Structures are given as structure tokens and as C-alpha cells.
Amino acid sequence: MRGPTELRAVLHEAQVRGTAVPAFNVTTLEQVEAVVSAAERSGAPTILQLSERTIRFHGGLHAIVPGIAGAIRLSSARVWLHLDHMTDYELIARGLDYGVPSVMVDASQLPFEENVRAACRVLQLVGGTGGIVEAELGHIGGKGGAHATGARTDPDEAARFVEASGVDLLAVAIGSTHAQRDRTSRLDIPLLTEIRARVSVPLVLHGSSGVPDDEILRAVKAGIAKVNMSTHLNLVFTRAAATAIETGLASDPRDYLGPARDAFRDEAARIGTLLAPPST
């Protein structure tokens, strides 16, 4: 599995160049394969993300991380594994034991000082591994279908949070929301610009599925260096599988999982090229 040193350099390079690293959440092995293939096609450095819910769906890290590590190891693409929206410290520790280079601790719904303490606790777990720790400030809603596009990260609090916690990446609330199916969100770019001026670490946009391409690019230009996406690609995957099943010709899971994987790959490759176009 690729380590954190190169990923840290890639994220800082994106911040300097005005590009962003795509970070795609996956649930199935087919989606893992799709992300790796997309990275090979686009050439974009790419992060492959596992949520706590996905890990529990598979019965634990042991059931999915070795396969992901193998897919990354056998690929020529630059792909890293990241644990996303983690709240279970024991699960985080086990992920670090597996060599996972990057983790996001999710404590944004807690008061400021408790959020800082949660980030510091994960940094202690990371210890001397050099692993990357991401945190979120300004709770980005949308989990469970409850959209909350009104959340905003305060720039002064963002600066204090990064200084107090020492995190490597900061996810900020600027108008996006998790689990949004339509791509209609408009982002608060002036706020993002103000946060960028106050915070030195790379910034992360969560809830990007509900944000149209042009808005994402505006955010990248204004300082977002990592773009998380899940729901949009899950919809692409599911619709392709449903179309294959509706033809009546699918008698084997491969008959619909294959087209679904290909559709996921194609869209992930497009987004990767959009966010991190090849250097000219």
C-alpha cells in the first residue's frame, strides 16, 4: 500500500498548483477496481475511501482492506487508501495496523474543544507512522438524508482549530451537503477564500456529489485541494446495474456488475481529469 509521505506531497502540490486530488468512496470490490482503473486512465493521483459504515457492512477491515491493498500494489496508478468519517478509535487503530496512510476523524458535530480533543487523540494514535489526519470543522449535514446546506465554517475558528489540533487536512463547510442526489448546490467562495487565507493546511470539500462541475472548479481555484465524492458515483453505478437488469438479459451478477463497474470507472476518470488535468 502506498504510504503517507508521497500523499502529503501530492496534496500540497495540488494546493500550490490550484488543482485537487479526487477522493472516491467505495462500497464493493467492483468499485475499488473502478477507482483504480479510473486513476490509470486519468493519470490523476487519487484517494480511495472507506467509510465506517462500509467497513461494518463487510464485517471488518480484514474483509476488504487486503483486497484494496492488492489492487493498489498491482496498479501503475497513484492511489492511496483513506478511512473516511471515522468515529471508532479502535477501528482507526486497526486501520493504522493495516498500513492505512490517511484517516478522517469525524467529530464536527461536537463542541469546538471536543472536536480538537478528538483530532489530537487520533494524532496520538498515528504516532510515528507519519500518517495523515483529516478533521472537519463546521458540521456538513446530509447523513441520513437530512440536508443542511446552511452550515458554515468560521475562518477564525478554522485557524484556531488547525493550530490547536495539528491536523494535516481540514474539511470545511461552505455550502455543500452529504448524500445530495441533484447537483445544484452553490458554494460560498468568498468564505472559502477567507478560510484559505487563514489556514495553511490543504482544505477538503465534502458533499461534492451535490455540487456541479463548475462550482467544484471554482472551489478548487479558491483553495480546495481534496474533493470527496460518493453519492453521485453510487447513483451512476446503480443506474447502470438497473439498466442491465431491466433488459432481461442479466442472469448472472457479472452481467450487471460489469456495466456498473465500467460506468463508475468512466465517471471517476472524467472527474479525475477535471480536477487534476495533466501538466502541459
Compute and round to an integer the Cα radius of gyration of the chain.
18
Per-residue pLDDT band at 177 (split at 50, 70, 90) = confident
In a domain, 207, yes or no: yes
Q: Is 5 exposed, middle or buried (0-12, 13-18, 19+ CB in 10 A)?
A: exposed
Instruction: Report, as an integer, the average pLDDT of 135-148.
Output: 59
Give phi and psi for 25, each to the nearest 5: -80, 140
The residue among 244, 216, 240, 245 whose CA lies nearest residue 23 is: 216
% of the chain with per-residue pLDDT over 90? 83
168 is catalytic: no
pLDDT at 156: 95
In a domain, 280, yes or no: no
CATH of the domain at 40: 3.20.20.70
Give me the DSSP letters along 185-238.
----HHHHHHHHHH--SPEEE--GGGS-HHHHHHHHHHTEEEEEE-HHHHHHHH
pLDDT of 69 higher than 80: yes
In 3-state terms, what secondary structure has residue 134? strand
pLDDT of 40 higher than 60: yes
pLDDT of 184 higher than 80: no
pLDDT at 182: 63
Please, what is the Cα angle at 96 between 199 and 79, to 5 degrees? 70
In a domain, 241, yes or no: yes
In a domain, 168, yes or no: yes
pLDDT of 178 higher than 80: no
pLDDT of 145 higher than 50: no
In a domain, 133, yes or no: yes
pLDDT of 121 higher than 90: yes
Instruction: Report, as an integer, the average pLDDT of 145-162.
Output: 78
pLDDT of 66 higher than 90: yes
Total of domains in the chain = 1
In a domain, 148, yes or no: yes
What is the residue range of 231's domain?
4-275
Distances, alpha carbon 25 to alpha carbons 22, 31, 41, 81, in Å: 10, 9, 18, 10
Active-site hit among 84, 154, 168, 188: 84
